[in-house]
Amino acid sequence: MAITYYMLQIPPFLFFLMIISFGAIFGGLGTFLFRKYIRVRILRSHNEVTGFLFLAIASFYSLLLSFVVFVVWDQLNETRGNVSKEGSSAMGLYRDIKFYPDTVESKQLMIVYLDFVFNVIDEEFPNMEHLKPSRKTPESFNRVFFQMEHLNPKNQFQVQLVAEMFNHLNELAEYRGLRTSSMETEIPPPMWLPLLLGAIITIICAMLMDIEHSRMHILLNAFLGIFIGMFLFIIILLDHPFSGSQGIKPKSYRQIFTMEQWANDVPIKKQI
């Protein structure tokens, strides 16, 4: 399990303060110690060359950070879109079953389907938040397929309704598969090496700049550390779409339970 997952268990505002504080301390304190204990006589005479190299390194590193931010942002938007489409398919299937002609088969299908919805809310999404697979939900989803295949439509209208229900069910299966697979689309651990090493190299290059006013030099490098920390905070926050307080929640599935409770005016299994 990635260390970034454990970071997301910290409240977002506190985690933000922690990561920018670390960046400020690394940049500011590192510059202070560098100026105090390391004397390089040629720094001032080579300031133009050092400044050019620092600009090039900082530009390439900012490009790398921007690329990673756009990648994780695109993955998050794609995941949210798939979850939204899954919720629409789940809601459509619920209405199809709800308004299917009142038969023993349709009532049994509704019981099985609500059991699946309950497992999605109660087990699958909490497990995804902890980067773990679900065990009960796939079994209950298979039972929905099995129960639907045993419907016995009596006329052409019911045949069309069953066909529409299968269409929604197949869409639900497709988007649910995309959602569960997106749990593993995190930044690979080797990719964090250039991100962190690039931050260290960029700040060290900023330390090599010979600025006459020491306090200004320390403050500027502290700001540089804060800026890099903000980018890393965004990347970590977006890397796990289902984890943390800002993670994606099963709103449509909960809405199905709410609608069913309103319709029957009785609690189902337990309050979600």
Domain boundaries, the chain: 3-264
pLDDT of residue 46: 61
Joined together, the tokens standing for residue 87 give 């919720």
CA distances from 21 to 24, 151, 233 (A): 5, 61, 12
Question: What gap in Å lies between CA 191 and CA 189, rounded to an integer?
Answer: 5
Give the C-alpha separation, 185 to 183, whole Å.
6
The CA–CA distances, whole Å, from 72 to 11, 78, 126, 229, 239 equal: 20, 10, 22, 16, 6
Q: Taking residues 125-146, what's their average pLDDT?
A: 88
The pLDDT tens digits for 47-87 are: 666 777 888 888 899 899 989 999 888 888 888 999 999 99
Mean pLDDT over 217-237 rounds to 91
Model pLDDT for residues 151-196, shown as the tens digit of each residue = 888 888 888 888 888 999 999 999 999 988 887 777 888 888 999 9
The answer on pLDDT for 248 being more than 60 is yes
pLDDT at 199: 92
Q: What is the pLDDT of residue 23?
A: 93
Going by C-beta distance under 8 Å and a sequence separation of 6 or more, which residues neighbour residue 113?
Answer: 93, 94, 97, 144, 147
Instruction: Tell me: pLDDT of 21 over 90.
Output: yes
Integer-rounded Cα radius of gyration of the chain: 27
Question: What is the model's pLDDT at position 26?
Answer: 92
CA distances for 143 relative to 95, 108, 160, angstroms: 18, 11, 21
pLDDT of 204 strictly over 60: yes
**HEC readout, 45-99:** HHHHHHHHHHHHHHHHHHHHHHHHHHHHHHHHHHHHHHHHHHHHHHHHHHHHHHC
Of residues 60 and 247, the one with the higher pLDDT is: 60
User: What pLDDT was estimated at residue 75?
Assistant: 87
φ, ψ dihedrals at 14, nearest 5°: -65, -40
